[in-house]
Structure 1
């Protein structure tokens, strides 16, 4: 990677691979580096300070591998760490680098999916408690009514490969019922966690046919395409040899590779890394 400047994709685990897949579909010729912090996942129940520390360590490690631009393909990291990284960390240490998240691009378009103007947001406890979606959606679509529901058991189910098992249906139904009890007018549900698309078919099966279920991958990918068009100074820095490298912070790369391949849609071979080594 010494002569490469890949586009970095970060997630607390493997969920970000659903976004990565969509980005590759729209921008296939670029070099990519994916990092999953599986060794410290899930992030959802951790404090703001801890999530910022973990995310910034991973971002710095990706910078050291040559990434000039990193996408936080993780809603919890975007909600709890992105602003501090953008407003403080980058200007102090890496003014020539950029870090983008997934919440703002989603908030910019989510209002286009609803007729009733009532939407539900399903996310981790950290994302929901941050209030980030409420603030961002209010900015772009002040007329929308937004209802949130934390789904703390979904990420562990997915990370452990249980998302397609019959036992997952109970927990899918549980959180959907809690969300829909808040309003009978919800006609659009946002999967505000990049892990949740693996449960999308089960989620749809437990909802009326007229309720839209919106995943973020295509939205974030389209936003990135637009960003690179508007920032040619960054686009020209990204190398374009079509390479994809995968890293994880757990020792068992075989387990990561197995689950990651299901998320990414093709075979994944990864290396294990210690992101804390050499971080400032």
Structure 2
């Protein structure tokens, strides 16, 4: 099936789901008239209507009128939502979960045995079509479903298929990692403010510095250590700054942060 012929449904219409649908629409992957989203109230649905999407308060309607169904609810209400929509899920449906901490095994147990299930973990920059996403497929989802999902979501950023065991690691690395980067950007800008630069200018330069560094990593394919070494000159400013970062154990602290977030994601899956 061509992506443009898909009827796409979202059960849940929060910020992450909204980011994904904006990417799909801006890339021309799916017409807005083919998108239907549900939520308990109009609080989140107004923004979808502004995009030209259809909306409803009925989760069952989303399933009945869609082929590709994204689950984007809060983790604690997902079991009751799956119980509600289970009678409407047919062999034609592809069900994609964005819900943190809910495994493919759990999804397959709570949905009909024939359901084609995939699990994806996006991150916040999907809202500006610069996300990092990984996905895994259940036992009934084949190459066709995986290729379709990757084709659709590549419009929202990097999208890679991985073993499900990597999803919690991705959460610690990239899902939560966005916050680490924001903290670092804030610290960079505040350092410049301390030295006399206006705050707004410092924030813009810090953001562009992070953007440029990331672009070089992706486009050159070089190891971060190689690019870091390229910036350092003997006795120059950068090596003095890096010495201070090493004294503050930046590298070990960031590694510990990724580990802590990954472990928390694993714990959530067990709850």
TM-score (norm 2): 0.30
Name whichever structure is richer in helix by fraction.
Answer: 2
Q: TM-score, normalised by structure 1?
A: 0.29
Greater gyration radius: 2
